[in-house]
Amino acid sequence: MISPESQDYIRRIRQNPPYGANGFSVDELREIMGSRREPTIAGVKCERVSVDGVPCEWVIAKDADLDVRLMYLHGGGYVSGSGEFYLPLAAHISAAARCAVLLPDYRLAPENRFPDALEDCIQVHEWLTVTGPGGPSRARATFIAGDSAGGGLTLATLLALRDRHMPLPKGGIPLSPCADMTETASSIRSQAQFDPIVHPRLLHECVRHYMGDGDVRNPLASPVLGDYTGIPPLLIQVGEHEIIVDDSIDAAAKARADGVEVTLEVWPGMFHVFQSHEPLLPEAREAIDHIATFMRACLDG
């Protein structure tokens, strides 16, 4: 049973059609998801850095361990979004998990199509392993997390790091990952009338802009088709009423079949990236606590 607060919130967001139902504009989406939202937790420090040309921002809550570093990859359908929009969520994760969070602004489509964003993520994670908020310093542990497009990039980055024999994080945390560019998942149809955030037309346009003429069955574009052998543990969180809920279910099943330890959480009644909406819903607070618990377990393990 979902909380009364979430029930009321969902009623309010359902008063407007999901994004993409009445057309799609990259510029409009960028204006919305490129805005800066300051952390809502007192005492959080934010510091902008550049990683070989990729703009990034550190988010560090009080008492965070600067040697435990999480790279958080923002959502936005591969065509929009910025770390600035995710400062509040990054701060909540930093406080709950007592880690330093780095938000990279990877390159966006259609100006930069697949695999440019992925290459940026690989580059930033490599930097993260040897550089902290205070400068050169080897990390005790790293993690990769992200939502929506950033969730898909989280999985793709793990696969690419493994394939290139580069240092892997302790764990991966995809939230509502957009991880299947083939657009064949049954949930695109079955959840279309229930998803209050994303319309199937938006998904289609984002795939078109991101992939261009690229192969949508490339596992680094559609990680649901990947081989997860040797990948670290995964925590996958997704809302029940998402047109891409099958991306999470299918990726979890494939990773488990390949021998990976996977925790899949399908949150009843929840919507796309419910963890990021402010003020935090009870379910969002609980989900963030689960992220912190998962990270601690990976560190202890």
Chain centroid offset of residue 181 CA: 16
And the tokens for 80?
């929009």
How big is the chain, counted in residues? 301
The pLDDT of residue 55 is 98
Report the CATH fold assignment for 4-300: Rossmann fold (3.40.50)
Mean pLDDT split into 10-residue runs, the chain, 301 residues = 95 95 93 95 97 98 98 98 98 98 98 98 98 97 98 99 98 98 97 96 97 98 98 98 98 98 98 97 98 98 85
Write out the catalytic residue numbers.
148, 242, 272
Q: Number of helices and strands (H, E) in the chain?
A: 9, 10
> Cβ atoms within 10 A of the Cβ of 183, count?
15
Instruction: Report d(CA 103, CA 145) in Å as an integer.
Output: 10
> Cβ atoms within 10 A of the Cβ of 290, count?
18
And the tokens for 119?
């290459």
Closest C-alpha among 38, 73, 39 to residue 56:
73
The pLDDT of residue 122 is 98
The pLDDT of residue 4 is 97
The pLDDT of residue 1 is 81
Closest C-alpha among 163, 159, 147 to residue 235:
147
List of residues 6+ apart from 32 with CB closer than 8 A: 80
And the tokens for 262?
């996977």
List, as one string, the DSSP characters of 54-70: EEEEEEE-TT-EEEEEE
The pLDDT of residue 6 is 97
DSSP secondary structure letter of residue 19: B
Cα-Cα end-to-end distance for the chain: 33
The pLDDT of residue 201 is 96
The pLDDT of residue 24 is 86
Q: What angle do CA 259, 260, 262 make, to 5 degrees?
A: 130
The pLDDT of residue 34 is 94
Residues paired with 141 in a beta bridge: 68
The pLDDT of residue 227 is 98
